[in-house]
A = this chain, B = another copy of it.
Amino acid sequence: MTDTVLPPDDPQALAEATAQAMWSRDRAAQALGMQIVQVQPGRATLSMQVRADMVNGHHICHGGMIFSLADTAFAYACNSGNHNTVASACHIDFLAPAREGERLLADAAVQSQAGRTGVYDVTVRREDGSVIALFRGKSCRIPGEVIAGLQQADSAH
C-alpha cells in the first residue's frame, strides 16, 4: 500500500515517483555513491564518481563499476512505468579506461518495448563528453509494481 497520489496519465510524474521509490531501497546504488541526474519515461541519467576503492589491479576503474553504473541507469529507465522489470541479459563494450576521481555519466534510453521485453541502450561518458562504454540491456517484466498499489489507486480515480 502507498500513500503516493499521482494524477492519472502523467508519465513524467510516474517516472519520478517510481525512481524515488526504487532509490529508497537501492542500497547498492547508494553504496557506490551514484546520483540520479534525471528520469523520464523510458530514460534515465545517473552519475558516479570513480572512488579509490573502485580501482582494479591495472590502476583503472574496475569494469564491474562501470557496468554497475550503466546497469543502474538501465534499471531506472526500464522501471519508469512502475512495472517491476529486471535485466535478462546485458552487453557492454569498453572503449576507454576511467581513472580515479573522474565523474561518469550514464544515459539510458529505450530502443524497443514489446510485450514484456525491452531493449535499452546506455552510453557512459566522462564529464568532457568522451564515451568510455556502450551498454545494451534486455529487460523482462516480472509480476508486481515498483510502487505497490499505485496502479490500482490510479484506476480507482
A-side residues, CB < 8 A to B, are 21-32, 52-65, 67-69, 71-72, 75, 79, 84, 86-97, 111-112, 114, 117, 119, 121, 131, 134, 136, 138, 146
Contact B112 A26 (CB under 8 A): no
B25 touches A64 (CB 8 A): no
- A63 and B54 contacting across the interface, CB-CB below 8 Å: no
- CB A65 to nearest CB in B, in angstroms, measures 6
CA distance A9 to B107 in the complex (A): 34
CB A77 to nearest CB in B, in angstroms, measures: 13
Between A and B, 20 residue pairs with Cβ closer than 8 Å are A21-B57, A26-B62, A27-B54, A27-B55, A28-B65, A29-B62, A31-B54, A58-B84, A65-B68, A67-B71, A67-B90, A88-B94, A89-B89, A93-B119, A93-B136, A95-B114, A95-B117, A111-B134, A119-B134, A134-B136
> Contact at A131–B146, with CB atoms within 8 Å?
no
Q: Are A138 and B93 within 8 A (Cβ)?
A: yes
Q: B72, B84, B88: which contacts A117 (Cβ < 8 A)?
A: B88
Question: Chain B residues with Cβ under 8 A from A69's Cβ?
Answer: 64
How far is it, in angstroms, between the C-alpha of A88 and the C-alpha of B66 when the chains are bound?
13
Docked complex Cα distance between A31 and B64 (Å): 12
